[in-house]
Structure 1
Amino acid sequence: MNALERHINGLFGDTRVLSARLEKGFIRVPTAELQDTDDAIHLKLELLGLETKDLDIQVTQDAVHISGERKSQTQTENNGTTKSEFYYGKFKRVIPLSARIQNTNVTADYKDGILNLTLPKTEQEKNKVVKLNLEQPAA
């Protein structure tokens, strides 16, 4: 499991995924998708079954911190048993960003368990151009 977690973290650069060990496994953290455009970074998080009141999202200029809790709603009747593959409990995830953003201008849309964040880049990041000199020095 640790090797898989390290591999997943590697896909997102230095993403730090915090998982708490349970009796029978791990608490899963939300899956994420990042799209980097000229003007903004678009982050999509899968938060199925969570209400906004159960989420805490903090955005700095270089990372998105998300934590929350998925609460069990399963009720077992008299002498009944329930088997579930759903996961419940608290989670925390930090997603580092590839560019500095204007964290005061972030927009969010949460619909059908999918959180979409638009993280506008700072003007310095938008205008960052590096000119390479390919000429050979005179000998």
Structure 2
Amino acid sequence: MLAKLNDNWGVLTPWRTVNELQKGFWGLLDELGDSVNRRLVSYPRITLDENEDSTVAKFVLPGYKAAEIDVSVVGDFLTVKAERQCEELSDNERYLHRERACGRFEETVKLPSRVKAAEVSAKYADGILTVTLPRQEEEKPMTIKINQ
């Protein structure tokens, strides 16, 4: 009540200054939360498995089409790029809550060994991108039997 009555005092109103600081603080927290959520949502979850012959990378990419995903291997780095277009809302619509990220992402993973780039294969099914990366011969682990 006091703040409303004193609202006509002008720039020197102490309650106005406190109110503006509070609005700025909450706005800053909202922006920080949005950027953290955007960062967490826009990057895929990754699993790297390894066996004797190859490394298998699995990326969780629900809602993408295979044509929107690019996979490349250079040396011992695997790069996955994808882009999802944002849905356009009409003038009378607005989001109440949105966790589905849109836009472009690029994720590069350092592989544990060099791979045969010509033999790399990728499969996309049920929102999971599976990239099989055959290991180069000299990179395969070798078991050496000890003679007595």
TM-score between the two structures when normalised by the length of structure 2: 0.65
Structure 1: segments with no counterpart, 5+ residues: 1-20, 133-139
Equivalent in the alignment of 1:125: 139
User: Counterpart of 1:51 in structure 2: which amino acid?
Assistant: K
Equivalent in the alignment of 1:40: 54
Structure with bigger helix share is 2
What is the aligned-residue RMSD (CA, Å)? 2.5
Using the aligned pairs only, state the percent identity: 29
User: Counterpart of 2:95 in structure 1: which amino acid?
Assistant: T
Structure 2: segments with no counterpart, 5+ residues: 1-30
| 1:86 has 2:100 as partner | yes
Structure with bigger strand share is 1
Would the alpha carbon gap of residues 76 and 22 (structure 1) be closer, same or farther in structure 2, given more than 3 Å must change?
farther
Q: CA deviation digits over 1:83-104, x for unaligned, max 9? A: 3121111111110000111111
Equivalent in the alignment of 2:34: 24
Find the residue that maps to 1:24 and give its secondary structure: helix
Pairs within 5 Å for 1:1-139: 24-25=34-35, 26-27=38-39, 28-73=42-87, 75-83=88-96, 84-128=98-142
Would the alpha carbon gap of residues 94 and 38 (structure 1) be closer, same or farther in structure 2, given more than 3 Å must change?
same
Q: CA deviation at 1:76?
A: 2.9
Aligned mates of 1:78, 1:60 — CA distance in 2: 45
Task: Report the number of matched residues.
Answer: 111
